[in-house]
Amino acid sequence: MTVSIIFGCQPMLNIVTSVPRYSDVDRQKADGVTYTPMSLSQFVSEKILQVADLPKSGKIRVLDPACGDGALLDVLIQSFSLTLRERVEVVGYDKNSEAIQRASRRLFKSFPNLDIRLERKDFLDHVLTLQNNDNLFSADGVEQERYHLVIANPPYVRTQIMGKQQAQQIAKSFDLTGRIDLYYPFLLGISQILAANGVAGIITSNRFMTTKSGQAVRRAMLSRFNILHVWDLGDTKLFNAAVLPAVLLVRGKSDLRRFPAKEISFSSIYQTSDVAEGKATNVLSALKMDNSAVIAIADGRHFRVRHGVLDNGGDIEGVWRIATQATDQWLTIVNAHTWGTFQQIGKIRVGVKSTADKIFIRSDWNNLSGGRPELLRPLITRKCARRFKAIDSGEKNSKEILYPHEVTENGRAAVDLKRYPKAESYLKKHREALEARTYLIEAGRQWYELWVPQNPAAWSLPKLVFPDISDKPVFWLDMDGGVVNGECYWLQCNNGIDQDLLWLALAVANSTFIEAFYDHRFNNKLYAGRRRFITQYVELFPLPNPKSEASVEIIALAKEIHAKTPSAEIGQLIADLDARIWRIFGLPAEKISW
């Protein structure tokens, strides 16, 4: 149904309604609503118009594919001269009818004579319809539905909020794999409606630049756009929501086979405790400062600003990072002293995931009326986290997991519960809740299984364990056969024999050197300086030659620290080990905090 709203004798704004696509979980979560702060709207608008090559005559077509309350369009249009504004044709889509109403009131008040069309429409459905009907071209081959300018803050909705069926449908339509976020297909969709020389300014999460699920997006961004500049706005807290934003400034291109021929500018800004060298009113104005400057803003926070170029290691799907001359020189020295990386030790895996932790994980198993069930194993959680050796939480507070998996001649399998009567009785009491995990049943699994159990045979072997998020590296060696929980990652030797590689990795991973390496190589932090120790980062941590005399001494020292933890003796031992790690990678000991 189309509703035309006419305000007096002024031109009308058309509001077109359609059926919403996503389930109404929590409105803000389901719709990914994260409205844009005014300062960021102004920043993006300014950057767009600085590089825009607008047509000399005719309409200037402008689109916001998820317009929300109209703030981005409002600011962008205000930035046009009055002469250009007369030629602007504005289109805005949003699937939230209340947002469309707010945007229409806002834009009509600001621009009563402007050609504006706001539609209640799902942008992704719109793009797919154009694809399916070949509506990007008219009968005479002239391109339609192309925009000279696009400004966007796409919704952030993770797979688990969208729902499995909807997520799979979107992933298939846009050739995406793994866990996707709704802004992934938005980025790809924008490339299909942006004119060949058009410009888009897109506010998005910075997650796609570094996660495995973002590989396809990184490849598509580099192939479908000429990327002009990337700003990683890190932990600036520009949004009320827990979003680490980035801004992409891109130009459309006609030849998708050509990859970037020139360097892509990359800037980042992250909070630091370092002494400020200058002042700025806010984080966005701080971005104008020189490379590596530490800037104090009005609220007292300090930020380090970095300017360089985008580096993905020569891999079109590779992780995006900022490269500067100083950083590249530092990494060149490290590479010259690197024998291998952590991924050469073995595969880094995430811990087990039950998707029913209240049932499978407890600390009071001994108090159950039916008695302590069989199949219990000690559980390693982030509460155990301590460098070199896990914290012994004591029997009272330690958690155990009911682990219903075993190794058979055919590989991993769910146990036969009839052999474990107490465990069977306990699980049957919770059968209804466990069977509610329909995705597990649909995958052909037993109702009482863990969703991600990993290999039962691996738990008894020594393993390097670490939490996924931490401000400092916290790695420890487990020798006691514990099961690693899903909030942590773990690493074992491929051959199960050369355990000294694990000890060497333990030493390197707990050093201040690895903090500096992380910040040079990845520089991706969450709020309060917390780092994300995920597979694609840790697997690239460097290792020195394990057979060198210096490495042999480092391994022996790591074993001594592990044996003496906790004690007052280890402080000096750790300091000695730390200095050795810096030296073995060819660098003087230092403390670097970007």
* Residue 187: pLDDT band with limits 50, 70, 90: confident
Instruction: Return d(Cα 554, Cα 509) in angstroms, integer.
Output: 12
Model pTM score: 0.78
* Mean predicted confidence (pLDDT) in 510-526: 87
Dihedral sign from CA coordinates of 250, 252, 258, 261? negative
Name the residue with higher pLDDT: 237 or 148: 148
DSSP 485-542: BTTEEEE--SSS--THHHHHHHHHHTSHHHHHHHHHHT--B-GGG-EE--HHHHTT-E
Distance CA 576, CA 590 (A): 13
Give the model's pLDDT for residue 41: 92
Distances 460 to 358, 377, 483, 571 between C-alpha atoms, Å: 25, 11, 9, 30
Model confidence pLDDT, tens digit, residues 89-100: 999 999 889 999
pLDDT band at 17 (very low <50, low <70, confident <90, very high): very low
**What pLDDT score was predicted for residue 106?**
94
| Confidence category of residue 496, pLDDT binned at 50, 70, 90 | low
* pLDDT over threshold 50, residue 31: no
Query: What mean pLDDT do residues 483-490 have?
Result: 95
Residue 553 Rama label (left phi>0; alpha psi -120 to 50; beta): alpha
Share above pLDDT 90 across residues of the chain, in percent, rounded to a whole number: 61
Supply the pLDDT for residue 164: 56
Min mean pLDDT across 282-291, 312-321, 547-556, 569-578 is at 312-321
Lowest mean pLDDT among 285-294, 388-397, 571-580: 388-397
Q: pLDDT tens-digit profile of 92-136?
A: 999 889 999 999 999 999 999 899 999 999 888 888 887 666 555
Say what the pLDDT of residue 172 is. 66
What average pLDDT does range 389-398 have in this prediction? 72
pLDDT at 147 over 80: yes
pLDDT at 394 over 80: no
pLDDT of residue 332: 95
- Res. 593: pLDDT tops 50: no
In this predicted structure, what is the pLDDT of residue 226? 94
Supply the pLDDT for residue 509: 98
pLDDT band at 261 (very low <50, low <70, confident <90, very high): low
Instruction: Check whether the bond before 566 is cis (ω within 30° of 0).
Output: yes
The residue with greater pLDDT, 173 or 19, is 173
Q: What tens digit of pLDDT does each residue of 34-84 get?
A: 567 888 999 999 999 999 999 999 999 999 999 999 999 999 999 999 999
Band of the pLDDT at 220, cuts 50, 70, 90?
confident
Q: Can you read off the two tokens belonging to residue 403?
A: 């682990």
Give whichever of 17-21, 174-178, 228-232, 316-320 has the largest mean pLDDT: 228-232
- Average pLDDT of the residues in 230-242: 82
Contact 539, 348 (CB under 8 A): yes
Say how far residue 218 (Cα) sits from the centre of its chain.
Answer: 12
DSSP 97-139: HHHHHHHHHHHHHH-TTSEEEEEE--HHHHHHHHHHHTTTB-T
User: Nearest-5° angle of CA 92, CA 96, CA 99?
Assistant: 65
Percent of the chain topping pLDDT 70: 83
Alpha carbon 397 to its chain centroid, in Å, reads 33
Angle in degrees, CA 260, 266, 269, rounded to 5:
165
532 or 262, greater pLDDT: 532
Q: What's residue 212's pLDDT?
A: 81
**Do 404 and 361 contact (CB within 8 A), yes or no?**
no
Question: What integer is the mean pLDDT of 426-443?
Answer: 94
Whether the per-residue pLDDT at 227 is higher than 90: the answer is yes
Q: Which is more confident, 453 or 313?
A: 453
What does the block give as tokens for 185? 């297909």
Instruction: Please give the average per-residue pLDDT across 526-532, as a whole number.
Output: 75
210 Cα distance to chain centroid: 6
The mean per-residue pLDDT over the stretch 314-338 comes to 92
Report the mean per-residue pLDDT for the chain: 85
pLDDT of residue 139: 42
| pLDDT given at position 156 | 64
